Chain A
Amino acid sequence: AQSVTQLDSQVPVFEEAPVELRCNYSSSVSVYLFWYVQYPNQGLQLLLKYLSGSTLVKGINGFEAEFNKSQTSFHLRKPSVHISDTAEYFCAVSPGFQKLVFGTGTRLLVSP
């Protein structure tokens, strides 16, 4: 079975500062990895995904994530955040059968 751990429930940051949201996963098989964002009162939107190949994955809105197999991590980063990035971010893992297992989420709070 797969599991996902998001180490930080909430990350406060000032506008234009860099941010890293941490995600670790556990799986006995190769997996696909995803980051989703949920803005208030909305559904989930895919930010980026790792399937194979390059371990550095670039997504929408200036976000990127790096897959580290030895550390079983898939941390999300952005070099300079905006107020509009305030949202809930979910890391998810899939063994390839479209059934995603989600982490508990990290609330990113960007203040001026």
Chain B
Amino acid sequence: SAVISQKPSRDICQRGTSLTIQCQVDSQVTMMFWYRQQPGQSLTLIATANQGSEATYESGFVIDKFPISRPNLTFSTLTVSNMSPEDSSIYLCSVSPQGATGELFFGEGSRLTVL
């Protein structure tokens, strides 16, 4: 398993600003992912955070809006840029630890409200 810490746990932001979410894992992991959970909806994969290279984005998500960094095997950041109320969501970091058999482990999420 893995223990995942996300910061901030929640925030209220103004339209047009940007916010960076941090994800720290207690062990080295190969795969790290960022998901979005909009109010009352399921989880949607934003991107795979690749260590030492550019993130791989899913359809509908772009680097300019959601820049991601992954400087090492235990840490990643997701920035939500130029926020609008439609970006109000829970953003979840997830990892697949070494030895895991397919499942992902999730942080507790960062709940963003954009006014």
Interface residues, chain A, CB within 8 Å of chain B?
A: 32, 34, 36, 41-46, 49, 51, 90, 94, 96, 98-105
Q: Decide if A99 touches B42 in the complex (CB within 8 Å).
A: no
The residues of B that contact A49 with a CB separation of less than 8 Å are 101-103
Contact of A100 among B104, B108, B109 (CB under 8 A): B104
B42 engages A104 (CB within 8 Å):
yes
Number of interface residues of B (CB under 8 A): 23
Q: Could you tell me if B48 and A104 are in contact, using CB atoms closer than 8 angstroms?
A: no
Query: Can you give 22 A-B contacts (C-beta < 8 A)?
Result: A32-B102, A43-B4, A43-B109, A44-B43, A44-B94, A45-B106, A46-B103, A49-B103, A51-B101, A51-B102, A90-B43, A94-B102, A96-B102, A98-B31, A98-B33, A98-B96, A98-B100, A98-B102, A100-B43, A100-B45, A102-B43, A104-B41
Could you tell me the dominant secondary structure of chain B's interface residues? strand
Identify which of A98, A102, A104 gathers the most chain B CB atoms within 10 Å of its CB: A98
Residue of B whose beta carbon sits closest to that of A105: B42
> Told that A32-B101, A98-B102, A103-B42 touch, could you supply 12 new A-B pairs with CB distance under 8 A?
A34-B103, A42-B108, A42-B109, A43-B4, A46-B103, A49-B103, A51-B102, A98-B33, A98-B104, A99-B45, A99-B48, A104-B42
Distance to closest chain A CB from B52 (angstroms) = 18
Contacts of A46 in B (CB 8 A): 103-105
